[in-house]
Amino acid sequence: MELALISDTHLPGRASDVPDWVRRRVEAADHTVHAGDFDAPATVELVESLADGSLTAVGGNVDGADVDLPDVATLTVEGVTFVVTHGTGSRAGYEKRVAGLVRNKAGPDAVGVAGHTHEPMDDVVEGVRLLNPGTATAANPDDEATMMTLDVEDGEFTVHLHRE
């Protein structure tokens, strides 16, 4: 199964559109995960449409009350449990904060997916694997669009970082 991981689309607040190459990867994936900061309900609808309704999403710190999404979501695919959150808060302590949330929500074997920093990350923090796909639209303050795809099968997964 292929998962598309995206985050921090910030439409229309900080970006004008989702790049075509990101759209194609989301459309081709079996399921999409968005780690927050859509900016508007219309952006949630756009991403859900690209994902053909197969979307797990959380709200981010700029989404506001009109974007009605949970702060944390859990998804299990092919024996791998993913805990999705935006990672809202100070950049200082971000990794430990997200790792702690993942461990408390689903245990140390779960994988954390978070956004917020606009910086791609694939790291192990305090025994928890953390993935951050960056910003799918090169939203300010970043100037490069990035996302991840994961090939997930039989409790294992391979991460691919994409940038253009």
pLDDT in tens, 74-102: 999 999 999 999 999 998 999 999 999 99
Query: Taking the CB of residue 91, how many other CB atoms lie within 10 A of it?
Result: 10
Residue 95: give its domain's CATH number. Answer: 3.60.21.10
Residue 147: the pLDDT is: 98
Calculate mean pLDDT across residues 5-27: 96
**How confident is the prediction for the chain on average, in pLDDT?**
96
Residue 11: the pLDDT is: 95
Residue 92: the pLDDT is: 93
pLDDT in tens, 47-66: 999 999 999 999 999 998 89
Helix axes of 20-28 and 41-50: crossing angle, nearest 10 degrees: 60
Residue 164 in this model has a pLDDT that exceeds 90: no
Domain count, the chain: 1
Using pLDDT thresholds of 50, 70 and 90, give the confidence band for residue 141: confident
> Containing domain of residue 53, as a range?
2-163
Answer yes or no: pTM beyond 0.95. Answer: yes
Residue 56: the pLDDT is: 98
Residue 137: the pLDDT is: 97
Residue 81: the pLDDT is: 98
Per the model's pLDDT, the better-predicted residue between 142 and 106 turns out to be 106
Residue 82: the pLDDT is: 98
